[in-house]
Structure 1
Amino acid sequence: MFTMRPATEDDVTGVAEMIRARCGWQEQRGLESWREEVDDLAGQAGSGFMWLLEDGGRVVGCTTVTTHSPPKDWTPEEAADPALYLFTTVTDPAYREHKPGTLIALWAVDQAARQGRQWVRRGCYFPELVKYYETQGYDLIKEQDRSAGHLYLLARRAERLDLDALGLMTV
């Protein structure tokens, strides 16, 4: 059984180790990684916005969740719809067979519904991630050119899901 729980400052080391494992996996495949930002990303564990996916106390994934839209991403009308926004989701490649990224995404869909929100929204800069997020039920809503690259914005309607059937519980 996997567990989703809010991260705390005590989790920084475990989150950093998991992110470094992901960086190594990405680099072995010639993909960009967050190697230079590991400490900053892991430091978000104490922000009150990061959630962890754990297996028996081991951090196997994390995501940052907010209730407000990045100002340039969504129009004021879109931002007025209650939503959760996922940022910087990272998972341990050793757990790939368990699809931790999908578990995190589905947890967010259920969490948004439990909070009375209509949407879960996320963005990414890689078309391969768009395809992956589409397998999780997210739809590509729009694209924007940014100084950081071409941004893809996706959304999925919130709905209650049977997290127990997925082997996931929230603490």
Structure 2
Amino acid sequence: MFVIRRATTADREAVEELTRARAHWMAARGVRGAQGWERFAGESGRQAAAPDTPVWVVATEAGRVIGRTTLGEQTPLWGWTEEEQAQPAYFLNTTLTHPEFAGQRVGSLLAWWAVDRAAATGRGWVRRAVGPDPGLLRYYCDVQGWRIIHRVERHGEDAYMLGREAEPLPALARHLLTPA
């Protein structure tokens, strides 16, 4: 069982360490983007500690932070139509998990939690974007249930705008505790 909760100032160092651990894991495997995550580690921790930034963390029951995501209340301007931007939706981004917990679907739990939370808060959609990584795109679609809404060019590369309609996912309660 994992716990998902809003990040606090006390999570800053743990979120930085988590971000660096993911960057080092990616670098060791030659995965694209590792340097970007390494550079982002300090900012990742600052965002987690900022009360006005909607960062959520997943922790073990013992309290170790093993995942993080940002759940924005605005769909970004790039990649989405004006009509889509006007719809009540969450935008999920900067999701990462600790490599020591690979195979435990921590990232999927974060995504599914967002879908469930959107339904509970009256939003119709959860959206996210992914770059030109075909493996990650396939994983998001085939395992997590996202569908491609748009393909756009971003910084000279293809980016995919993904969406999932909000829906209650009561089975999450067996894996993920959300404190009141």
- Judge same fold: TM > 0.5, yes or no: yes
1:41 aligns with 2:44: yes
Instruction: State the match for 1:155 in structure 2.
Output: 163
1:108 aligns with 2:111: no
Name segments (4+ residues, structure 1) moved above 2 Å: none
1:78 aligns with 2:84: yes
1:133 aligns with 2:140: yes
Return the match for 2:59 from 40, 43, 54: 54
Q: CA deviation at 1:49?
A: 0.7
For 2:156 and 2:74, locate their aligned partners in 1 and report how far apart those are by CA, in whole Å: 21
Letter in 1 for 2:4: M
Instruction: State the match for 1:96 in structure 2.
Output: 102
Letter in 1 for 2:168: R
Identity of aligned residues (%): 41
Structure 2 counterpart SS, 1:131: helix
1:23 aligns with 2:19: no
* 8 Å contact kept, 2:7–2:48: yes
For 2:161 and 2:45, locate their aligned partners in 1 and report how far apart those are by CA, in whole Å: 24
For 1:104 and 1:150, locate their aligned partners in 2 and report how far apart those are by CA, in whole Å: 24
CA-to-partner distance for each residue in 1:46-85, whole Å, 9 max, x for gaps?
Answer: 2331000000200110000111011112111011221110
TM-score (norm 1): 0.95
Instruction: State the match for 1:2 in structure 2.
Output: 2
Letter in 2 for 1:38: A
Q: CA deviation at 1:148?
A: 6.1
Mean Cα deviation higher: 40-49 or 61-70: 40-49
Structure 1 counterpart SS, 2:103: helix
Letter in 2 for 1:29: R
Unaligned runs of 5+ in 1: none
TM-score (norm 2): 0.90
Mean Cα deviation higher: 125-134 or 56-65: 125-134
For 2:64 and 2:136, locate their aligned partners in 1 and report how far apart those are by CA, in whole Å: 25
1:69 aligns with 2:78: no
Unaligned runs of 5+ in 2: none
